Structures are given as C-alpha cells and as structure tokens.
Homo-oligomer: A and B are copies of this chain.
Amino acid sequence: MSGREFFTARTVAEARAGFRPANRTDIETVPLAEALRRVPAEAVSSPSALPGFTRSTVDGFALRAADTFGASDGLPSYLELLGTVRMGATPDVAVRPGSCVAVPTGAALPDGADAVVMVEYTAETMPGTIEVTRPVAAGAGLVRADEDVVAGGPLVPGGRPLRPAELGLLAAAGVTSVPVHRRPRVAIVSTGDEVVPPDTAGLRPAQVRDATAPALAGLVADAGGVPVYAGIVPDERGALEKTLAGLLDEADVVVVSAGSSVGARDETTGAVSALGTVWCHGLAIKPGKPTLLAECRGVPVVGLPGNPLSALVVFRLVGMPLVWSVAGCTSVPPEPSTRARLSRNLASAAGRLDVVQVRVRDGVAEPVFGPSALLSVLTRADGYVVVPEPATGLDGGADVEVILYR
C-alpha cells in the first residue's frame, strides 16, 4: 500500500461508483416462504403459460360472440342453456351456435365459446333459455390461457429483491423455491478502549457502552444481511489485525466501528492496510469524513468514524449499498421519502456531501443540529436531507427531499 493511496479522499459518488469489490455470496435455493426480499441469482421464467386455460372474469354465460350481434333490450338474442361449468372442473360440454353455458368468475371456458356475457345483461325467461340483451365482442369477459404469463416468459428478474406480489406469481407458476444469493454475513467489530458491551451495568466515568454495533446490526438487517457481532477489540493494532484476519475467512463484509480517538482510527488504518488494499481513507461527507474503504482478500472492509451519528450516516449511504451489492443486488429497494420545505438556510462546502438530520412537521423540514457525538440527534430526527456535492448550501424555504427513517 502506497502513501498516496493512504491519504486519498474521495467523494461519496466516487465511492459508490468506484469501490466495487468483486466477491458475491454464493447461491442457495430457498422455499417461497423464506424468499421475501432475497435476491434471485438470475431471472426466473415460467415453466408454462398462466393461467394455463381460458378463464372467465365475470359471472355469466359463455357463448359465441356472433350470436349476440345486434342484441338489445328490445330485440334480445335467445340462447339454449346447455349446462353449467363448476369451479375447478374441466368443462364437459361445448358451446355450439345458438347456445350458451353458465360460468362463474374464474371458471374454465368451455370449447366453442369465445366470450362471456355478464349475468347482469341476461335473463332466464324460460327454463333452459337465456335471453341476452347486449352484444358482446369476441374475447370479452375472459382472460386468455397465456394472458398473465406466456410459457417461458419472465416471472421475476434477477438481481432485484423479491417483492410480495412476485412470491405470488412464482407460486402461480408452481415455482416453489428460488435460487438466491446467500444473505451476506456482515461482521461488526468495535474498537476503542472507552467502549464496553451494552450489558455493562455500572460504568466508570469515561466509559461508554457500544451503541454503534446494535444500530449497525439493524441497518445490516435492513440491507438483507446477517449481522455478526465480533466483539470489542482494544485500541491495539496487533489485536485488531488478528481479529480482522480471522473475520475475513468467514464474513462477506467487515465493518470496523472505530473508537472515537485519533489513536483508534490510526490503529484501524494500520491493521486494515496490513491485510489488503485501502481504496480510500477519507470521504467528502459531513458528518463522516474519517471513513476508510478497503478490500482485503476480496472482502469489502468499511472503517467507520468513531462518533455513532457519523458512523450510522456513513453506513447508510455507503455501507448498505455494499451489503446489497455483495448479495448480487443490482436494483436496491427504494427508501421512504417525502418532499418538505426547508425551514432555514443550510451552509455547506462545494465538493462535500452534507447529511443534515431533520424533523418533519406539517410539510416543513426543521434541521436537528448537535455534535456528532450525540446519538439523540439521530433518534430525534424523522429523516435526513442531503446537500449535494456541487452545492454550497440550500436556501431556507427550498423544496427538499427528505429520506425518511422507518
């Protein structure tokens, strides 16, 4: 690793486009009941046409459209009723000229019929004779056997997390399991001599409980990954390097939640550098500048800033897309957002992405300010506003997009 690389700072846009470790999780086949939001390894096609048979879409009478030509209240068509199709049963009677067969919604169309007239436009004036008072066009009141999906046609695309409706379409086609990328295992290592586990009851003044790791675990889960806690490592390069080396064998992404001191950051950089290639050290983002991105044996390693607020902002913008990407996802699900009016001017520096926490009330986005050391700045916010890299700020009163927390 050269000194030049070591000090290279990048923009968030460059990191998102350029930092692309090639590893992808392997492929496993899961049943539909476990497939929600999983990423199909490739597009899935339908083994057969759907619905697979011509199907009525109304309650009515299957008939030949030509037999209803010119039908009206004054001059109905009279058709012989040959029988009734039962739900789920293959029709055992065919429609011939001048006749019809009763069909419920969803039933199979009998042979010979090319349309279904709704029961509302008919009357059974005499037993066995149906009076039709409206003309129907061929193809009315039905879906064709391959109108939902043609045989071999696409059910779901590859690379996009499966949505609820897609699980339904797969089930309709009889596809009850899907090859998907394994959920990425995301190891979370905390460092910092001041950091103690969350279940530490009594703290000495100067100690803090590890708040970042549990929050990161939530973001990892939101990105479809499996968080793996790797514990708290002291601010000592040898210890961290040893821990990281072990994690590289079992994790698909490694996240180092650094202690807040310069010392802790330096140890992280040293340990990561020894194990792979540092892609950038420093991101043009506020908060979150002291971020390190590296690739070690094909595994992306993200070194986060020490302040929990900064760490979570950076992980949301840079880490979560990486987790999705490692799972083969090429189309990340959209985040909730809303438009709001910014309550006041926001200053920024050109070339730097600013992430400003906001509360939203009655369509107004009110910035929540406070030191990055305060996690409550994040928990009091409803979402955040981004001041883009080229901008030098945003004007009060501007219409802005707020990415909402959920």
Residues of A within 8 A of B (CB): 32-33, 36, 50-53, 55, 57, 59, 85-91, 104-108, 143, 147-149, 155-156, 161-174, 176, 192-195, 198-201, 203-219, 221-222, 227, 235, 259-264, 306, 308, 312, 333-339, 371-376, 378-379, 404-406
Contacts and interface: CB of A to CB of B under 8 A. Distances in A.
A249 to B, nearest CB: 23
Given A261-B104, A312-B168, A87 B192 contact: yes
A222 B51 contact: no
A402 to B, nearest CB: 10
A263 to B, nearest CB: 6
Nearest to A164: B218
Given A32-B214, A53-B205, A172-B209, 11 more contacts: A85-B206, A87-B194, A87-B259, A164-B222, A166-B215, A167-B214, A167-B218, A168-B211, A168-B379, A174-B203, A336-B336
The count of identical subunits is 2
Nearest to A54: B205
A214 B171 contact: yes
B104 A143 contact: no
Given A107-B194, A164-B222, A206 B91 contact: yes
A50 B308 CA distance: 13
Interface-central residue, A148, A156, A195, A204, by most chain B CB under 10 Å: A148
